Structure 1
Amino acid sequence: MMDRWTLKGKVALITGGTKGIGKAIVEELLGKQANVVFVARDKQTVDEQLANFKTLFPDQKIEGFQADVNNKDDINKVIDFIKVDFGKLDILVNNVGTNIRKPALEYEDSEIQHIFQTNLLSSFNLTMRCHELLKKSETGNVVFISSVAGQTHLRTGTVYAMTKAAMDQLTKNLAVEWAKDNIRVNSVAPWYIDTPLARSVLENKSYFNNVIERTPLGRIGGTFEVAGLVTFLCLPIAGFITGQCIAVDGGFTVYGF
């Protein structure tokens, strides 16, 4: 019987793979024996994490690229590498994102464009570029890292929330449109997770306490808990799951009065 709990021989591409949730996803996929290509903008960090991953997983094939997901030349370089070295892509994880926290009336046009380009359009464009390789897999997977901000109100910025809500709808549309190509599409929506970005906000003790009060499990999530769900969605055992947006939130989104 086929081992439904391994990704051995699968090829994965992860954006923003050097820190936080992205780094944890790379580690989990490698742990399930996938071959991994990851990208991030900072060359030094890419080189450091590539060396780290190779030490932790010496038997796995892994490559890191300095690449900006908004730069077509950078993305072409990565996709050309995957075409030549692997000929297919089994897993695409769109993890890159950014936020500018302020009231809706205070956004500049340039800020709105930057958030939409980074969070939504770059992921859309990369996913479109990867369609051919994902189709060749015959068991392709796309996972978007969304946010609970796309499902309910948060005090983290209306524009950010708009991009994540759109990402969840993109997930549903592609899941149906690409099912004929044997490509599954899901999104994972974290609440506050223990990342460098989240820590900068949670340093405010009052804000931290408010977050914990609204989280039934009474704590911040770990990056491995998000990465674990992403990895599960890519496994053969999850082969009938598509078009879903699953929250990793300690119960936050269902916590009523």
Structure 2
Amino acid sequence: MASALFDLTGRIALITGSSRGIGRVIATALADAGATVVLNGVDAERLETTRGEFAETYGDDRVHARAFDVTDATAVAAAVNDIEASVGAIRILVNNAGIQHREPLLELSLDDWNRVMSTNLTSAFLVGREVARHMLERGQGKIINIASVQTDLARPTIAPYTASKGGIRNLTRAMTAEWASGGLQINAIAPGYIHTEMTQKLVDDEEFNSWIVGRTPAHRWGTPFDLGGPAVWLASDGSDYVNGQVVFIDGGMTVVV
């Protein structure tokens, strides 16, 4: 009973920014649960390498890749339509693509602000909108937006990232308000401090690392693998009455002072 509830066999999942890092791990978790995955990234060579590695485990028929810029509305529409036509109906979307930029607000350029907002927030709107057009026609679909503890918290030098992740929370709510009646479930995962390539410099900073470990009730950094189970749950029938929620996966960081 439980295994059937979380079985994704035969369902097609598009995961943006999935050639490495958190996106790759979530794609792995969905594939392990039976999904056919469509990987995405802007670096075509790296994306193809990842696709080949996935294919060795899951087979060519269950692994596809599409290199397109998630901030380009025309490219997004073309890619989604192509996936629907050549791979099949997208049942699961994970809006994972994101970047970080660390600089004090007073020194932050408008270009860098716009680049982070476009990649982290606008892309979720663009890809979500195009995928939802097809999902709503079928009356079913799961959209998982990747938020952050910075959805609720802030710290110096990462203002555009914080603003973009706060926007993800309310974009998730807005999508729910408009699309839940059409059979879609839209939720967000908010990772805490996860040890990835993006955060390696922070892990290597002895003072910051000690602060994170001390500030987190679980007393450790998260790993990308901590996100796989929640992603499968939100992609599965087990979450059919969960809508508009932000699930914090942070070792307890956001519940203590």
Structure 1-normalised TM-score? 0.94
Q: Confirm or deny: 8 A CA contact 1:88 1:136 kept in the other structure.
A: no
Moved more, 73-82 or 63-72: 73-82
Residues in 2 aligned to 1:60 and 1:232: alpha-carbon distance in whole angstroms: 24
**Cα RMSD after superposing both structures:** 1.7
Q: Identity over the aligned pairs, expressed in percent?
A: 28
Match of residue 241 from structure 1: 242
**Residues 149-160 of structure 1 mapped to structure 2, 5 A cutoff:** 149-160=150-161
Unpaired runs of 5+ in structure 1? Answer: none
Residues in 1 aligned to 2:209 and 2:238: alpha-carbon distance in whole angstroms: 37
Q: Confirm or deny: 8 A CA contact 2:12 2:88 kept in the other structure.
A: no
Residues in 2 aligned to 1:28 and 1:171: alpha-carbon distance in whole angstroms: 22
**Residues 63-82 of structure 1 mapped to structure 2, 5 A cutoff:** 63-82=64-83
Segments of 4+ moved more than 6 angstroms: none
Residues in 2 aligned to 1:95 and 1:70: alpha-carbon distance in whole angstroms: 13
Q: Confirm or deny: 8 A CA contact 1:30 1:60 kept in the other structure.
A: no
Match of residue 101 from structure 2: 100
Residues in 2 aligned to 1:63 and 1:191: alpha-carbon distance in whole angstroms: 29
Encode CA deviations 1:136-192: one digit per residue, 9 max, x unaligned. Answer: 443301111011111012345122111111110111121121011101100111111
CA change 1:255–1:86 in 2 (3 A) is: same
- 3-state DSSP class of the match of 2:166? helix
Residues in 2 aligned to 1:5 and 1:156: alpha-carbon distance in whole angstroms: 39
Residues in 1 aligned to 2:201 and 2:140: alpha-carbon distance in whole angstroms: 38
Match of residue 128 from structure 2: 127
Q: Confirm or deny: 8 A CA contact 1:13 1:38 kept in the other structure.
A: yes
Match of residue 178 from structure 1: 179
- 3-state DSSP class of the match of 1:196? coil
- 3-state DSSP class of the match of 1:90? strand
- Are positions 1:187 and 2:188 aligned together? yes
**Residues 42-61 of structure 1 mapped to structure 2, 5 A cutoff:** 42-58=43-59, 61=62
Encode CA deviations 1:107-141: one digit per residue, 9 max, x unaligned. Answer: 11111111111111111111111112222443301
**Residues 205-216 of structure 1 mapped to structure 2, 5 A cutoff:** 205-216=206-217
Deviation at 1:87, TM superposition (A): 4.4
Deviation at 1:60, TM superposition (A): 5.2
Q: Confirm or deny: 8 A CA contact 1:24 1:223 kept in the other structure.
A: yes
- 3-state DSSP class of the match of 2:40? strand
- Are positions 1:253 and 2:257 aligned together? no
Moved more, 9-18 or 72-81: 72-81
Residues in 1 aligned to 2:182 and 2:157: alpha-carbon distance in whole angstroms: 37
Match of residue 217 from structure 1: 218
Encode CA deviations 1:32-73: one digit per residue, 9 max, x unaligned. Answer: 111111111111211111111011112751101222212344
Q: Confirm or deny: 8 A CA contact 2:51 2:65 kept in the other structure.
A: yes
Residues in 2 aligned to 1:220 and 1:3: alpha-carbon distance in whole angstroms: 32
- 3-state DSSP class of the match of 2:5? coil
Deviation at 1:86, TM superposition (A): 4.4
Residues in 1 aligned to 2:157 and 2:8: alpha-carbon distance in whole angstroms: 35
Residues in 1 aligned to 2:99 and 2:139: alpha-carbon distance in whole angstroms: 32
Unpaired runs of 5+ in structure 2? Answer: none
CA change 1:208–1:137 in 2 (3 A) is: farther
Moved more, 83-92 or 225-234: 83-92
